[in-house]
Amino acid sequence: MTALPGTDLPGVTALPDAGRAFGAGDAGAGSGQEEFLLAGMACGEPFRTRVLVRRPEVTPSGVVVVEPMHFGGGRPVWDHAHEQLRRAGHTWLEVACQTTPAYRRMIPSDPDRYAGIRLAGTPADGGPEVEPGTDLRRASDAFARTWWESSPQLFEVLTSVFALLRAGGLPGVRAETIVLAGGSQTGGVVRRYARLAAPGGPLAGAARPDGLLPLHSGGSTLPAELDLPTVELLAESEIESVRSAAGLPGQGRDLAHRDCASPAYRCYEVPGMAHVGSRDHAPAAAPPPGSRWSRFPHAHVVHAVLEALIAWIRDGREPVPAPWLETDSRGLLVRDALGHPLGGLRLPAVEVPLARIRVITAGAHWARGHEFALDTDDLRVRYGSAAAYLRAAGEVLDRLVAHHHHLRADAQRWLAETSTELAATWRNPPS
């Protein structure tokens, strides 16, 4: 397999039995799955890698969401957006464009299937080294350098994929609107791409997506020259002061992301939101004593910002801003009596709370939030009855939906699930 004759486009070969693909097990119902090998040139060297494609079973929308394979081998965008991707008819692609996950995770999963994979660079191992007294920024920066140094072809491979999609060269994929999206480490990849593809950058003028969706990353200020519609989502847990208080490094740099002057940039900071959602897939491990894993509807926020970006690209409807999280003179978040930050994009979970949410959990599950349910007496004092609570929460959701900060289908689902939970809470108060 070589590049297509007479073009700079990568060559494409379908791999049989996509059920054997690395990571195929999380596709779920409602998505057709295919795997392709791509071969071409990037940074003056040949590459050969794989693309995993998931197509909706409904009529395709023409939207293609491209997600780089995460440094750790995961796929945070798919994890949190798959329900909306299927529902809206969007196609999703995962590109193995980072050397470390390709060589440390994908190839070992099936050496025969992936024997031909070739990406330049040397795979890196380990994570940020954080010991007591560690300079957290320095640890984070040192770890981030391993991403870039280990994957010199990363951005040119992505550019090849964009060019292939524009040319209709990926069988069965109609790409009218392309979104580059990533979460956590790959949120950092999307942010760096934004710099490289901005006017005057080394990727300016190359094949590119129509919009960018960096999730759960943060970092330094994006350039004022940024001209690709970009919607950034930052959970409370991504704010650097929150991370550092828990002894965790992160890509954030104070609140520098707020300083981007480009009219093509929107950012939403979300109180009560953890790095990873637990509502639909809670860890098997027990949460901290007296708590439960967070019920915050993480995926619903991701659905809304994805659709807001698509509407901006396709219809020119600019996303409605939301307030920043409130901070004091030291730059720390200002919190209410339950410990929830003030300001930000406020869902019912913090605007009309049923629990005290903590967005970071000490130990191995630091990325998950946990919460302490308010007791029945407190709920009655606050809201009077379950019906009154649902009316108040519905009003919050109506405002969010009106501003395109929440999807109506997700609001209805949340109200139905919460109604069921409240019926049990009000009927069976804790002893």
pLDDT tens digit string along 183-224? 999 999 999 999 999 999 999 999 999 999 999 999 999 999
Determine the Cα angle at 74 with ends 69 and 76, to 5°.
90
Q: Is the pLDDT of residue 261 over 80?
A: yes
427 — pLDDT class (breaks 50, 70, 90)? low
pLDDT tens digit string along 126-174? 777 767 777 888 888 888 888 899 999 999 999 999 999 999 999 999 9
pLDDT tens digit string along 70-96? 998 889 999 999 999 999 999 999 999
pLDDT tens digit string along 282-294? 999 999 999 999 9
Q: Which CATH number covers residue 122?
A: 3.40.50.1820
pLDDT tens digit string along 365-398? 999 999 999 998 999 999 999 999 999 999 999 9
The pTM for the full model equals 0.95
Residue entry with tokens 């699930």: 417
> What pLDDT, on a 0 to 100 scale, did the predictor assign at position 3?
43
Q: How many domains does the chain have?
A: 1
In a domain, 388, yes or no: no
Outline where 95-135 has alpha helix (H): 99-101, 107-109
243-276 b/e with 16+ CB inside 10 Å = b?
A: beeeebbbbbeebebeebebebbbbbbbbbbbbb
In a domain, 133, yes or no: yes
Domain encompassing residue 248: 11-324
What mean pLDDT comes out for the span 20-35? 88
pLDDT tens digit string along 328-362? 999 999 999 999 999 999 999 999 999 999 999 99
Outline where 168-297 has alpha helix (H): 185-197, 240-245
In a domain, 28, yes or no: yes
In a domain, 301, yes or no: yes
Q: Is 286 exposed, middle or buried (0-12, 13-18, 19+ CB in 10 A)?
A: exposed
In a domain, 358, yes or no: no
> What pLDDT, on a 0 to 100 scale, did the predictor assign at position 1?
38
> What pLDDT, on a 0 to 100 scale, did the predictor assign at position 15?
96
In a domain, 198, yes or no: yes
Q: Is the pLDDT of residue 7 over 50?
A: no
> What pLDDT, on a 0 to 100 scale, did the predictor assign at position 11?
92
What mean pLDDT comes out for the span 34-40? 96
| Spatial CB neighbours of 291, under 8 Å, sequence gap ≥ 6 | 358, 370, 371, 372
pLDDT tens digit string along 158-170? 999 999 999 999 9
d(CA 92, CA 26): 13
Using alpha carbons, select from 115, 417, 427, 114 the residue that is nearest to residue 280: 417
d(CA 50, CA 123): 17
In a domain, 415, yes or no: no
In a domain, 299, yes or no: yes
